Amino acid sequence: MQDIPVLTIDGPSGVGKGSVARIVADKMGWNLLDSGAIYRGFALSSLSRNINLTDEQDLIEHAEKLDLRFESIEGQELLNVYVDGVEVSKELRTEKTAEIASQLAVIGPLRVALLKKQQQFKQSPGLVADGRDMGTVVFPNAPFKVYLTASAQERAQRRLKQLQNSANAGNISQILAEVKKRDERDANRKHSPLTPAKDALIIDTTCLTIDEVITKVMALVEV
């Protein structure tokens, strides 16, 4: 029996993984896993349930019960996300939520508790999975792997553009500092650090348009 194909797209904050993953999934008619949304949703759910963020055991137990649902709305670019039945799409995408998610994501056993939830997204006819450890840990046998990178300055600019519509968008130097801090934590943690899989195609997107990146990724999967 032929295995369900998986394309993994890993890379640092603000590199554009989410947009690339969504467009490629759309073109291929494949399912989409935004694993960052799982870590962010978990962070929001833990906060709303007043879970002590320094108590690993409580966090792990909560991760095993996490009630998270994604909903795709026709004509809407971003997915709607529900945590414990409540729509949290806006809150989910703030820098504050990303920061807490990044802090919790260093806990190894917590990552293990969230692993199965992510692997369940591998459904026919295929999956595009974006995150930090999709090609290295969650789907190590994926036939297609991409690692996107870009300078921190360029990523901060992209992030600012993304946040422009929200009330607390912040300024470029603030976002650059946050992006660098998160990169440092994501890349240097002990468990599943951000690093390209050995068999990933590395694409530096600093000087590329999103269409150019999509063309390179589609050339990989459309064989």
Site of interaction with ligand DC (CB under 6 A): 13, 35-36, 39-40, 98, 101-102, 105, 131-133, 182, 186
When CB distances to ligand DC are compared, the closest residue is 36
- Contact present, 150 and 20 (Cβ < 8 Å): no
User: Whose Cβ is closer to ligand DC: residue 184's or residue 219's?
Assistant: 184
Nearer to ligand DC (CB atom), residue 30 or residue 139: 139
Q: How far is the CB of 105 from ligand DC (least distance, A)?
A: 3
CB 17, min distance to ligand DC, A? 7
Which residues pair with residue 148 across a beta bridge?
Answer: 203
User: Which of 49, 46, 70, 48 shows the shortest CA–CA distance to 60?
Assistant: 46
The number of angstroms, rounded, from the C-alpha of 7 to the middle of its chain's C-alpha atoms is 13
Tell whether the torsion through CA atoms of 182, 186, 188 and 194 is positive or negative. negative
Nearer to ligand DC, 210 or 219 (CB): 210
Could you tell me the smallest distance in angstroms from the CB atom of residue 223 to ligand DC? 26
3-state secondary structure of 145: strand
Tokens of 32: 């989409």
Nearer to ligand DC, 91 or 133 (CB): 133
